[in-house]
Amino acid sequence: MTNESTPEGGPPTPEGGPQAPAAASQTSAEALKTPAAPPRTPVWRHIANGAALVGFLVVGGIVVHTAPTEEQWQAPIAVTGAIGQTLTGRNIQATVTDIRVADSVTASNGWSGETSGVWVVVDASVEAVVTDYGASLSTAQLKVGDTLYGASERPDQATIEGVPLSVGLPNTGPLMFEVPADALAGDDARDAEVQLAATSDPRTDSMIVVPVDLSAIARQTSVTTEKPTWGDG
C-alpha cells in the first residue's frame, strides 16, 4: 500500500499534484472566448447617408455654377424697351424715335458721309435724371452680334454723340453708325441693339437698350438729318 503524506495542518493532496482553484479556471475560460461582434448598422441608414451626401454635392455644384462671375457683377444694368418708348435708368432717360439705314448720309451742318458699308442713323432724345454733374452721352453704340460700333464723331456737332446731359432738358438729334453692309443680314442683324449710357464706362450703372431688327429696315440711298436741339426747342 502507498502511504499518502498529509501536510501538517492541511487536507490530503490528491495524487498527480495540486489543482487550480475552480474560480481561476472559469476566469481563464471566459478570457479565451471570442468578443461579441458589435451590432450591424441597418442597410437603410447607409442608403440614407449616401443620399444625403449626393444631395449636398448636387447643391454645392448648383451654387458654384449659378454664382455670378466677376464680369456679370460688373455688367451694365440694362433698361430695355422698344422704339418710341421712354426708358429711364439711374441717371439717364432716353427715347429712340426712329432708325434708318442708308448708303450715304448728309448732316445738318453740310457734312456728307460716304462709306463702303452702310450708315445706321438713330434719332433719339436723351437727358439726365438725378444730376447734371459728369453726365454726358459718352456711350452711344450699336451692337450687332458680338461687335460694338460706336457712334461716329465725324459729323462733329451735327449729332448728339457725347453731348452733356441736363436734368429735365432733353438733347434731341441723330446718332450715326458706320457698319459693314453684311451686318444687315443674318441672325445677328435681327437681334441688334442700340445702347446708350450717361458715362463712358457704364459697368454697374444703367444702360438704355433698344432692340432692333436691322434686316427688316428698308435700305435708302441717302438720308439727311436734322439739326440737334436742346430743351423743348
Look at 44 and 75; give whichever has higher pLDDT.
75
Dihedral of CA atoms 193, 185, 150, 158 in degrees, nearest 10, equals -100
Whether this prediction's pTM lies above 0.85 is answered by no
Distance CA(183)–CA(118), nearest Å, equals 9
Asked whether residue 154 is domain-assigned, the answer is yes
Please check the confidence at residue 100 and state whether its pLDDT lies above 70. Answer: yes
Asked whether residue 32 is domain-assigned, the answer is no
Asked whether residue 92 is domain-assigned, the answer is yes
CA-angle at 219, arms to 154 and 87, nearest 5° = 70
Asked whether residue 228 is domain-assigned, the answer is no
Q: What's residue 227's pLDDT?
A: 96
Number of domains, the chain: 1
Domain containing 104 equals 82-221
Asked whether residue 192 is domain-assigned, the answer is yes
Write the pLDDT tens digit of every residue in 29-61: 555 555 555 566 566 566 766 666 666 665 555
Q: What's residue 231's pLDDT?
A: 81
Contact predicate 112/164, CB 8 Å: no
The CATH number of residue 185's host domain is 2.60.40.1240
Asked whether residue 34 is domain-assigned, the answer is no
